[in-house]
Amino acid sequence: MGLFNKNKVLPLPPNRFIQFFTLIKENFILLFYTSITHFIFSLPLIYILLSTYIRYKNLLNNSATSDELFKTLLSGGLLIIPTMFVLSIATVGMHNIIKKISYNEAAQYKDFFIGIKENLLNVLRLLIIDSIVSGIVVVNYGSYLFADINVFFKLIILISSIILFFIIKIIKPFYMTQSAIFDNNKINLLKNSFTFTMFKFVRNIGIFLLSNLLIILIFLLPEQMRVINMVILIILGGAYNILVSHLNSLSILDQFIDKEAYQTIYHKGLIDYYKKEDKNE
């Protein structure tokens, strides 16, 4: 499926921005199947989020005690940890698919599971930390609302956990993209990921919001439009999310690492990569 390196199918995109649209067009069926699979992995997390929200609202409407409300958010936050990890496993597989098609390599549905098998251990610690921090944000929110401790202290803890949440969410695509490409040790991958996150922080915040646009629109669109948005989210949401963040990572890697240290993959998947290859031949 899609563009194949050995055949050099033209035209190839001139940059990562144009490549986004090219990859969706040329690999739609593959992205559809892998997005559905990604969505299946997300079902436990969706169930926990919805059930926690519904229970919390019901308790709130029935004038429940602060202790009951806090316990609901606490249990929801704790259950987010394993279910977020399950979703992150699917993200590892999706990164392998996106890496292959971004580099103009042949990709098949089975590469989703091959990617999980080959790369999960490499990113395991980061996925665990990401899952724990995601759950802690909900727990800290509950503590801020209902815990009988100093308000200023509660606010500092909540804000700190939210900042950490966003930093990890931005680091994660850089780390997973590099893990799927390079053989570097985990410390170097983490150092590079943190550097790229901080160096292009404003851009990365924008990319994070853009990659999660379909989720954000659930809360912004009128009710009639939400159904259409949900359908798009189910059939293409996983691929869209990873594709946006992965291509952003590749663009920054091209600029700061590949151009000097890994010229064999500099701009790989773009038209000038193959023009350079033809000249060398």
Enumerate residues 6+ apart whose C-beta is below 8 A from 87: 38, 41, 42, 44, 45
pLDDT score for 2: 40
**Residue among 252, 164, 242 at smallest CA distance from 210:** 242
Residue 275 corresponds to which amino acid? K
The pLDDT profile of the chain, 281 residues, written as one tens digit per residue, is 443 334 444 468 889 999 999 999 999 999 999 999 999 999 999 999 999 999 999 998 998 899 999 999 999 999 999 999 999 999 999 999 999 999 999 999 999 999 999 999 999 999 999 999 999 999 999 999 998 888 999 999 999 999 999 999 999 999 999 988 887 778 888 888 999 998 888 999 999 999 999 999 998 999 889 899 999 999 999 999 999 999 999 999 998 887 777 788 888 888 867 665 555 55
Are 115 and 95 in contact by the 8 Å Cβ rule? The answer is yes
User: What is the reported pTM?
Assistant: 0.88
Burial of residue 83 (CB within 10 Å: 0-12, 13-18, 19+) is buried
CA 204, 209, 211, 215: dihedral to nearest 10 degrees?
160
Distance CA 28, CA 1 (A): 9
Bond before 11 cis per omega within 30 degrees: yes
Residue ranges of E strands in the chain = none
Alpha-carbon separation of residue 98 from 5, 12, 194, 237, 243 (angstroms):
14, 16, 22, 13, 6
Query: With contact defined as beta carbons under 8 Å apart, do 13 and 272 qualify?
Result: no
Instruction: Give the pLDDT confidence score for residue 12 in this predicted structure.
Output: 82
Give the DSSP letter of residue 10: S
Among residues 12, 1, 8, which one has the least CA distance to residue 100?
A: 1
